[in-house]
Amino acid sequence: STDLTSTVGYDSIIQHLNDGRKNCKEFEDFLKERAIIEEKYGKELINLSKKKPCGQTELNTLKRSLDVFKQQIDNVGQGHIQLAQTLREEAKKMEDFREKQKLHRKKIELIMEAIHKNRNLQYKKTMEVRQMCCCFLPYGLTRALLYFSSLSHFWQLFLKLAQTKSALEDSDRSYQQSVTTLEKIREEWQKEHIKACEFFETQECERINYFRNALWLHVNQLSQDCVQNDEKYEEIRRSLELCSIEKDIDFFVNLRKTGSLAPAPVVYENYYNTQRNATPVRSPVPVPISRRGPLPTPTSAPGEPDYATVDGYSLI
């Protein structure tokens, strides 16, 4: 600014730096809130997998698949809790970076405040001396001449004029010294102002770069969490591919079977007329129970998704 005492430009820079610090704080708070959500979600998943029954009476291969399912859901919950801890660590790093910049910038701001104060005081003093000289020179001499012209003694007039001239010379010297001092202060202020601006620019570049990298890292962490979760879900799919309907049916039959022969028919015995010797009905030879044919292969009904296979599945 052309106004030597103006701090409009400097104030704009400080305001922008404070806004940048505020933006870092907002992202830091965002990470903390996301960490709370992730931790709560992870704990809920773990409680769900441990406390909620899910096919607890199933047998054999399907039971193993359900066990893998619950275990992987538990692992997903643990992953979200770990992600919450990671987000808190990133938020702490952002806080440390923000406070570090604030501490470094405070030193520069204190220097600039002191030099602004010294500059303004010297400028005010210089303007006061200048005003005094400008007003005193024409007014003081004229008044002195009019005042002393009425005196009868010439030497008194001469003495007063000499004193007035001496006072004017002293004021002029003081004014020159003030201007010289102000110029030195102005040069020092300008030098420090440039250094401060360069420092602030460097800090702003560091802040933008750090903020951008932090946001990039955050997105990568979320992507990595999704990939890890999908790997856990893939374990469930592999387990389900090992689930055999035929094996589970055979397992249940072998576990619960009570024999291989059907009960014999009930034979009629005549207890009413013992004189009649009816030819007893011979019991047929028990026929072993034969197993039914092979079970049909389950297929997807219209509108249902097809079963995924490992070979045909991709994480991408």
Which position has the higher pLDDT, 129 or 311?
A: 129
Inform me whether the pLDDT recorded for 105 exceeds 80: yes
0.75 cut: is pTM over it? no
Average pLDDT over residues 31-36: 96
Inform me whether the pLDDT recorded for 314 exceeds 50: no
Q: Which pLDDT tens digit goes with each residue over 249-260?
A: 899 889 888 888
Retrieve residue 16's tokens: 């922008």
Residue 117, judged by CB atoms within 10 A of its CB (0-12, 13-18, 19+), counts as exposed
Contact 60, 251 (CB under 8 A): yes
Which position has the higher pLDDT, 191 or 303?
A: 191
Contact 214, 72 (CB under 8 A): no
Contact 221, 38 (CB under 8 A): no
pLDDT at 238: 92
Closest CA to 84 of 46, 139, 55, 110: 46
Helix axes 8-51, 60-148, angle to 10 degrees: 160
Average pLDDT over residues 168-193: 84
Q: How many CB atoms lie within 10 A of CB 159?
A: 12
In sequence order, the 6+-apart residues with CB closer than 8 A to the CB of 193 are: 10, 112
Q: Quick one: how many helices (H) and strands (E) in the chain?
A: 4, 0
For residues 130 and 244, give the distance between their C-alpha atoms in angstroms, rounded to a whole number.
103
- Domains along the chain with CATH numbers: 7-251 (1.20.1270.60)
Contact 104, 204 (CB under 8 A): no
Average pLDDT over residues 105-133: 86
What is the secondary structure of 222-265 as a DSSP string? HHHHHHHHHHHHHHHHHHHHT--HHHHHHHHHHHH---SBPPPP
- Which residue in this structure is represented by tokens 């910049």? 101
Contact 261, 283 (CB under 8 A): no
Percentage of residues in the chain having pLDDT higher than 70: 74
Q: Which pLDDT tens digit goes with each residue over 145-174?
A: 554 455 445 556 556 666 666 767 777 778
